[in-house]
């Protein structure tokens, strides 16, 4: 089989998979850069390469996402190891990272400033922020980050990701939301991408490969967000920021939860697709 034949099958929709999954998988098997597919379209896959390629295509067709097949996902400017124990980082969550960085910029904090990431999964939010804080030495080198998760398997992945990305300012803690933390320790920022999908949401049928505990929450998907917001005032400094990712149709409910728990300047920010995705509030 030649590369040009694979490209033709992609064009005809023959794999029934997202085009970039097939392309990225092919590049992974060949260990070549993108340009190879153009410059060497007549290249014939070896027997071993073809077996590996087809095995991966079969796996993806059976429901394994590309990120789990190759064991990694790009997020922010970094790369994160993923497996079946973690949510796969989504581009929309980069908006959450950006929102936190934008809010922090004009503020002056007494160092060390502290940030808490609840339900860290792969660690993508905390590690991306930790990476940026370490880079911006002059303004925010003294940030200390704490990332918690209920899953020890997810924490193992997150710790590995911190190492892989040379990020050393994140401490990982095994905890169900705030449970293992002390209210004596206050944070300047709390951030979270919690589970927020309702159990009856049709969208879930497409998300079978990721842990259900990272996706689904009771009470129309709002139960974990409610818990996080309700207890946030005990862990935030006055003037601190709470930033939470949520479903595209949850902005109104999430804003109401923020308002009911003493947050001010409550606002919602859209994701790259123009959907309501992040709500923030300041504790005053």
Contact positions with ligand GLN (CB under 6 A) in 219-278: 245
Buried b (16+ CB within 10 A) or exposed e, 92-131: bbbbbbebbeebbeeeebeeebbbbbbbbbbbbbbbbbbb
Tokens read off for 7: 């490209």
Query: Binding of ligand GLN at residue 196 (CB under 6 A)?
Result: yes
Q: What does the per-residue mask of binding to ligand GLN show for 83-122, with x meaning CB under 6 A?
A: ----x--x--------------------------------
User: What Cα–Cα distance (Å) separates residue 37 from each residue in 8, 21, 44, 129?
Assistant: 12, 14, 11, 35
Minimum Å gap between C-beta 38 and ligand GLN is 32
Query: Binding of ligand GLN at residue 215 (CB under 6 A)?
Result: yes
Q: Which stretch binds ligand GLN (CB under 6 A): 51-59, 67-75, 106-114, 193-201?
A: 193-201
Burial class (CB in 10 A: 0-12, 13-18, 19+), 269: middle
Query: Binding of ligand GLN at residue 45 (CB under 6 A)?
Result: no
**Contact in structure between 151 and 175 (CB atoms under 8 Å):** no
Between vectors from CA 71 to CA 116 and to CA 87, what angle results, nearest 5°?
40
Q: Which stretch binds ligand GLN (CB under 6 A): 172-180, 188-196, 226-234, 260-268?
A: 188-196
With contacts defined by CB under 6 A, how many residues of the chain interact with ligand GLN?
A: 9
What whole-number distance in Å separates Cα of residue 257 and Cα of residue 220? Answer: 14
Q: Which of residues 56 and 195 has its CB atom nearest to ligand GLN in the complex?
A: 195
Query: Binding of ligand GLN at residue 195 (CB under 6 A)?
Result: yes
Minimum Å gap between C-beta 206 and ligand GLN is 8
Burial class (CB in 10 A: 0-12, 13-18, 19+), 86: buried
Query: Binding of ligand GLN at residue 197 (CB under 6 A)?
Result: yes
Q: Which of residues 226 and 245 has its CB atom nearest to ligand GLN in the complex?
A: 245
Q: Which residues contact 130 (CB under 8 A, 6 or more apart)?
A: 143, 145, 162, 167, 168, 169, 170
Return the residue of 122, 140, 169, 193 that touches ligand GLN, per CB under 6 A. 193
| Cα-to-chain-centroid distance, residue 17 | 22
Q: Which of residues 3 and 228 has its CB atom nearest to ligand GLN in the complex?
A: 228
Residues in contact with ligand GLN by CB under 6 A are: 87, 90, 193, 195-197, 207, 215, 245
């Amino acid at each position: 089989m030649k590369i040009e034949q694979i490209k033709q099958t992609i064009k005809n929709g023959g794999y029934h998979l997202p085009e970039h999954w097939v392309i990225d998988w092919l590049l992974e098997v060949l260990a070549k850069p993108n340009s190879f597919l153009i410059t060497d379209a007549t290249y014939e896959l070896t027997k071993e390469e073809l077996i590996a390629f087809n095995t991966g295509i079969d796996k993806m067709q059976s429901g394994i996402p590309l990120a789990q097949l190759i064991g990694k996902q790009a997020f922010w400017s970094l790369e994160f190891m993923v497996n079946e124990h973690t949510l796969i980082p989504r581009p929309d969550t980069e908006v959450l990272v950006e929102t936190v960085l934008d809010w922090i910029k004009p503020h002056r904090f007494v160092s060390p400033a502290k940030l808490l990431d609840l339900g860290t999964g792969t660690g993508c939010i905390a590690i991306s922020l930790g990476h940026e804080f370490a880079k911006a030495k002059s303004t925010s080198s003294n940030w200390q980050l704490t990332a918690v998760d209920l899953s020890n398997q997810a924490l193992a992945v997150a710790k590995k990701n911190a190492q892989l990305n040379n990020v050393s300012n994140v401490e990982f803690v095994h905890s169900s939301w705030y449970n293992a933390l002390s209210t004596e320790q206050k944070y300047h920022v709390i951030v979270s991408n919690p589970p927020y999908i309702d159990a009856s949401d049709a969208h879930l049928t497409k998300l079978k490969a990721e842990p259900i505990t990272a996706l689904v929450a009771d009470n129309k998907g709002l139960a974990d967000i409610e818990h996080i917001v309700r207890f946030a005032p005990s862990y935030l400094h006055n003037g601190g920021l709470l930033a939470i990712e949520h479903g595209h149709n949850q902005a109104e409910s999430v804003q109401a939860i923020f308002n009911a728990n003493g947050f001010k300047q409550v606002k919602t920010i859209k994701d790259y697709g123009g959907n309501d995705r992040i709500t923030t509030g300041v504790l005053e």
